Structures are given as structure tokens and as C-alpha cells.
């Protein structure tokens, strides 16, 4: 698709055109009011351009827009369903005006350009509420602008929304029903680890257990989870003690990112169920990192309930996905049931009865990408007696992974094939997701 701000859509054969509805910015998330009068020149140069850029991203279903200054131009890129697509180029002054305008609207300091900043804007587009997160960081040649877009009416929160298999949902309920222990969502940056953590939180029976969040819930709506506001100056241990005193069953805490946080969480896990997240390559690596941080494998083995790692994969577009009969040898090779007769893929050119090649018809729903939206695939490690024994004995990550498979726990490949068999995604998408890094 050719990149262009303020694109117009043809509505009939007479070349009548209708202006695309531009996004409406409704104020900064932090409540900071933008002083437009004092920044009239910036408003004149950047406001409409910023609206057109964000609207262009929204119309493409982009979850992220990037603007990178490169020489005398700024390169625009869109991320749609996790896939990057090159946009066009802006004149450097226009790219700068858009960046500064969005900083102003999101309550950031437009005079600061030598350090990262993060803010957000409440917005509306096509009668839907949106959250526009604005991130800037200094790079050579200027500031890199990253815009993250989230439709507040389309929330992936519950385990079912996230595509979690029933076996995993059962595990989450069991881990969080014992009034003790730590349950973790893990993953690398930008893989949806926070979304997985919120999915775990929604997997707790909120009608049986009292749940407190001692981390910001942002704009995510989580039913029957109370925000617990600690006293100024209280550390994590003190705050957790206060949560225990109000007879809470579950505490949802900030990510475990340091040895100090890990030690505090494990020191309290006998008194309350704790849910959190942690940056890690995979489940086994996370367990060993916790052992290193805490310094005692016995504490981790007995205080950790389970670890979940998730990945997001693209779903085939329901309007244009193409059915085909797979080769039985392929079915056997990838591990699908032998009675699988039909699979689905994105549309490809086919040959008709006359031997002519026919291209697939265009699809407005997915913009001819063949995919629309994403779902999750998961693997997890539960602290079974065998896993605990390995952790205590100092086993490596490979030994832990092998034992988890022996225990019948879900692994990515098995969970992904579940979606292929249901026609939700394609084998080609799995090949892309699991392709080894170069």
C-alpha cells in the first residue's frame, strides 16, 4: 500500500471522494493540559499531520507506528499483527513537528529531546475509544518516535480471549487457589508478556478470592480486582505485609526484574498468592534466573508454582482464508492427527480447469495480508516433584525442559498445532514464528 497522509477513498465511478474521518485527540492520559496557545506555530505545523499519521495507522489496523529520522527524511513504518510494513518518508521538519506535537498532546516536555519520554493520549476514532501511547528516545539525527495504539473496546484479557488451552487455565486456577506461592508470566520484550500476566490474573476465580493489585492496572478493566495504594515511601515488602493484613488472597505485583524484588517476593510467598511477570527467554531460563537471584534453589523450587511463556501468532483472515488438502506425509511430519483432511492458508494463485493461473480476489478486511488479528500459543512449566528435584540439584535448562515434556506439559509446537488443526492459523505462519534467528 502506498503511504500517504489524508488518503481519500473512492466511493463511486464518478470519482467522488470522501475524506477519511480523522482521529480526535481528547487529552493527555496524565491529565496534563496542552497549552496550544503558547505553541501556535507547532500546532499549525504538526497537529493535522499528527492526526493524519495516527489515522493512517488506525485505518491499517496498526498496533505500532514508528517514525525514524534518517538524514534529511524521516522513515515511517507500521506494525500490523506483529509484522512490520514500510511506510513512506516525511520531510525532516514534518517528522519533527509530528513528534513534538504528539509529545505536547501527551503531556510530555517538548523542550526535552536528549532523554527518553513516555506519555499517552485519550483518543476517539469511528466512535471507538482509543489509547495512544507516545514514546520518544534520542538517536543520531533526532528523536525516534514510537506510537502504540490500543482500542479500549477490544481487550485481550481473559484466558479465553488469549487462546489459552483448557489444561493451562486449569493449572492457573490450581496455582492461585492455595493462598501461597508465586506464579509468573515470562517472555522477551514485545511478545505480550504483560498481556499474558493480565490473562493469568483473570484466570483467578475473582468471586472466591480477594485480589489486590499493587501495580498500576492502567486503562485495563479487570473485574473484582482492587487497586491497593501503598503509603509513600513503603517498599515492596511493607506493601505486601499491608495487603496480607487486609486478608487479601492474591497480590498482583510489578515485574520481577532484580534480585531484591525476587528475594522479597519469595520471602512473602508463604502468606499470600503472588502473580507477576518477568523478562526471560523461556520458562526454564526464568527458573534458573530466579535461583541465581534468590541464591537458594530450595526456596525457588518450593515457592514457585508455575511459569507461563506466551507468543502471539497471526490468525488467518476469516473472509479470504483458503482451504486445501494437505499431503499425508506433511501431516505426519508436523504431528497433526492422521485424519486431518483440510487445512487453511492465506490465499495463493491457483490454476483453473483451462490451465490458467488465477490470482485471488482482493480482500478489504485484511488489506490482502491474508491475516487478521492474533491469538496466543503457550508453553508452561509446573513445579512438579520431578521439576523441583532437578532445580534443587542444580540441573541445567535443557534438563528442566526435557522433564517438563515428560510430565506432559504444553509446549509451543503442540499448542500451535492446535490452532492449525482448527483452521485458526496456517503452517506457514508457524514456520515464520519458529524460524531460527539468523
Give the domains, in start order, of the chain with CATH numbers.
Answer: 8-151 (3.30.450.90), 166-314+373-433 (3.40.50.300)
pLDDT in tens, 311-337: 889 999 999 999 999 999 989 988 898
What number is the average pLDDT over the span 428-438? Answer: 82
Give yes or no for residue 17 having a pLDDT over 60: no
**SS3 of the chain:** CCCCCCCEEECCCCCCEEECCCCEEEEECCCCCCCCHHHHHHHHHHHHHHHHHHHHHHHCCEEEEEEEEECCEEEEEEEECCEEEEEEEEEHHHHHHHHHHHHHHCCCCCCCCCCCEEEEEEEEECCEEEEEEEEEEEECCEEEEEEEEEECCCCCCCCCCCCCCHHHHHHHHHHCCCCCCEEEEEECCCCCHHHHHHHHHHHCCCCCCCEEECCCCCCCCCCCEEECCCCCCCCHHHHHHHHHHCCCCEEECCCCCCHHHHHHHHHHCCCCEEEEEEECCCHHHHHHHHHHHHCCHHHHHHHEEEEEEEEEEEEECCCCCEEECCCHHHHHHHCCCCCCCCEEECCCCEECCCCCEECCCCCCCCCCCCEEEEEEEEEEEECCHHHHHHHHHCCCHHHHHHHHHHCCCCCHHHHHHHHHHCCCCCHHHHHHHCCCCC
pLDDT in tens, 262-315: 999 999 999 999 999 999 999 999 999 999 999 999 999 999 999 999 988 999
The pLDDT of residue 437: 60
Give yes or no for residue 95 having a pLDDT over 70: yes
Residue 200 and residue 423: Cα distance in Å, rounded? Answer: 25
Give yes or no for residue 215 having a pLDDT over 70: yes
Give yes or no for residue 160 having a pLDDT over 90: no
pTM for the full model? Answer: 0.80
Give yes or no for residue 360 having a pLDDT over 80: yes
The pLDDT of residue 64: 95
The pLDDT of residue 10: 40
pLDDT in tens, 69-79: 998 999 999 99
The pLDDT of residue 25: 97
Least confident piece of the model among 26-35, 149-158, 325-334, 388-397: 149-158
| Residue 15 binned pLDDT confidence (cut-offs 50, 70, 90) | very low
Give yes or no for residue 217 having a pLDDT over 80: yes
The pLDDT of residue 358: 85
Instruction: Select the more confidently predicted residue: 233 or 90.
Output: 90
The pLDDT of residue 338: 86
The residues pairing with 71 across neighbouring beta strands, listed in sequence order, are none
What number is the average pLDDT over the span 113-132? Answer: 95
Q: Are 77 and 68 in contact (CB under 8 A)?
A: yes
| Residue 18 binned pLDDT confidence (cut-offs 50, 70, 90) | low
Look over the chain and give the mean of its residue pLDDT values, rounded to a whole number: 90
Amino acid at each position: 500500500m502506498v503511504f500517504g497522509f489524508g488518503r481519500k477513498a473512492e466511493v463511486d465511478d464518478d470519482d467522488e471522494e470522501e475524506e477519511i474521518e480523522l482521529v480526535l485527540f481528547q487529552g493527555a492520559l496524565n491529565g496534563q493540559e496542552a497549552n496550544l496557545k503558547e505553541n501556535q506555530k507547532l500546532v499549525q505545523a504538526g497537529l493535522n499531520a499528527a492526526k493524519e499519521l495516527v489515522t493512517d495507522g488506525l485505518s491499517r489496523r496498526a498496533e505500532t507506528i514508528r517514525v525514524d529520522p534518517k538524514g534529511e527524511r524521516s522513515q515511517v513504518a507500521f506494525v500490523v499483527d506483529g509484522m512490520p510494513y514500510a511506510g513512506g518518508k516525511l520531510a525532516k521538519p514534518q517528522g519533527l513537528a509530528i513528534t513534538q506535537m504528539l509529545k505536547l498532546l501527551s503531556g510530555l516536555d517538548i523542550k526535552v529531546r536528549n532523554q527518553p519520554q513516555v506519555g499517552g493520549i485519550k483518543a476517539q476514532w469511528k466512535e471507538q475509544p482509543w489509547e495512544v501511547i507516545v514514546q520518544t528516545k534520542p538517536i543520531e539525527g533526532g528523536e525516534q518516535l514510537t506510537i502504540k495504539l490500543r482500542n479500549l473496546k477490544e481487550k485481550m484479557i481473559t484466558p479465553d480471549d488469549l487462546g489459552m488451552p483448557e489444561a493451562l487455565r486449569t493449572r492457573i486456577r490450581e496455582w492461585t487457589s492455595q493462598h501461597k506461592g508465586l506464579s509468573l508470566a515470562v517472555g522477551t520484550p514485545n511478545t505480550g508478556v504483560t498481556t499474558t500476566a493480565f490473562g493469568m490474573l483473570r484466570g483467578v476465580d475473582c468471586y472466591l478470592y480477594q485480589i489486590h493489585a499493587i501495580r498500576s492496572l492502567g486503562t485495563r478493566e479487570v473485574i473484582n480486582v482492587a487497586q491497593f495504594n501503598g503509603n509513600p515511601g513503603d517498599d515492596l515488602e511493607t506493601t505486601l505485609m499491608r495487603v496480607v493484613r487486609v486478608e487479601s488472597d492474591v497480590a498482583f505485583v510489578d515485574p520481577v526484574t532484580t534480585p531484591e524484588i525476587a528475594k522479597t517476593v519469595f520471602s512473602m510467598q508463604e502468606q499470600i498468592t503472588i502473580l507477576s511477570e518477568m523478562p526471560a527467554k523461556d520458562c526454564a531460563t526464568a527458573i534458573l534466573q530466579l535461583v541465581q537471584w534468590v541464591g537458594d534453589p530450595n526456596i525457588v523450587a518450593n515457592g514457585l508454582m508455575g511459569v507461563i511463556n506466551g507468543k502471539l501468532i497471526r490468525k488467518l483472515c476469516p473472509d479470504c482464508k483458503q482451504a486445501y488438502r494437505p499431503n499425508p506425509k506433511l501431516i505426519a511430519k508436523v504431528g497433526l492427527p492422521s485424519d486431518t483432511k483440510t487445512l487453511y492458508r492465506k490465499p495463493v494463485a491457483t490454476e483453473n480447469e483451462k490451465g490458467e493461473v488465477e490470482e485471488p480476489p482482493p480482500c478489504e478486511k485484511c488489506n490482502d495480508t491474508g491475516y487478521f488479528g492474533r491469538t496466543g500459543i503457550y508453553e508452561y512449566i509446573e513445579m512438579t516433584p520431578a521439576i523441583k528435584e532437578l532445580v534443587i540439584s542444580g540441573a541445567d535448562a535443557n534438563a528442566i525442559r526435557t522433564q517438563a515434556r515428560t510430565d506432559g506439559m504444553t509446549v509451543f509446537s503442540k499448542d500451535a498445532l492446535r490452532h492449525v488443526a482448527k483452521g485458526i492459523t496456517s503452517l506457514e505462519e508457524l514456520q515464520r514464528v519458529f524460524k531460527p534467528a539468523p
